[in-house]
Amino acid sequence: MLPTTPTARLLLIEDEQDMARYLSKGLEEAGYAVTHADQADQALRLALEQQWDILIVDRMLPNEQDGLDIIKAVRLAAVQTPVLVLSALASLDDRVRGLREGGDDYLTKPFALPELLARLEALIRRANPSANINVDSRQLKLADLTLDLLSRKAERAGQPITLQPREFKLLEYLVRNQGQVVTRKMLLESVWDFHFDPGTNVIDVQVSRLRNKIDKGHSTPLVHTVRGVGYRFGVDG
């Protein structure tokens, strides 16, 4: 798992104690070194005075304080640590504001822990994109699958794979997040740029078509369905 070597330092800013315990346990089991803060002033001091690999910031804090104020202060101090906003405030305006104030991602409550972990891992990889490049700055590779980012072509075991532009974008996202669970919501936001559920099975249809193109005729499947959650891309299911 991505954060375990070396251990990623995570600051969790959450005032609900039950939620904080649940998150801390799940994050530590996933390999993070977690520090918890439940007060805005304490959280801001920690965020500014110490080095973190990622921050999780709840919107609604004690004394009617907004976690976005912490994020704004962090960004004004030129701290570029990735920030995941976690909130029960789920309207489009709230999500847009959270991102504009300096958040890198916005996850609404209730949520599934696997999705939270997947989003954190994606943010860490985005902050260190070179970790995803296996050959050079223009190629992504997994096992016998290669993507050329300049020509936008793909091949497996030396055989070219014909992909539509959206299919290539979907495959690129899966390769960059190889080994991690990606949810349908993550794919909608990152590949289709939908920040709402269109109420269709577009994700399942497109992944099925992609699986047929890259896995058919090969003994080792790369696309795996994680029932009830999403998909995992890699040599092992």
> pLDDT per residue over 56-78, tens digit each?
999 999 888 899 999 999 999 98
pLDDT at 114 over 50: yes
Token readout for 74 is 């962090």
User: Residue 201 burial by CB count (10 A; 0-12/13-18/19+): exposed, middle or buried?
Assistant: exposed
The fraction of the chain above a pLDDT of 70, given in percent, is 90
User: What pLDDT does 129 receive?
Assistant: 55
pLDDT band at 90 (very low <50, low <70, confident <90, very high): confident
For 3-22, the pLDDT digits (tens) are 433 578 899 999 999 999 99
Q: Output the CA–CA distances (angstroms, integers) from residue 115 to 111, 119, 168, 185, 226, in the order listed.
A: 7, 6, 23, 9, 12
Round the average pLDDT of the chain to a whole number and report it: 86
pLDDT(237) > 80: no
pTM exceeds 0.85, yes or no? no
**Mean pLDDT, residues 186-212:** 84
**Domains in the chain, start-ordered, CATH in brackets?**
9-127 (3.40.50.2300), 131-233 (1.10.10.10)
CB 67 within 8 A of CB 13: yes
The pLDDT score that the predictor gives to residue 196 is 67
pLDDT at 13: 96
- Please provide the distance, in angstroms rounded to a whole number, between the alpha carbons at the two ends of the chain: 14
pLDDT value of residue 43: 94
- 182 pLDDT tier (thresholds 50, 70, 90): confident
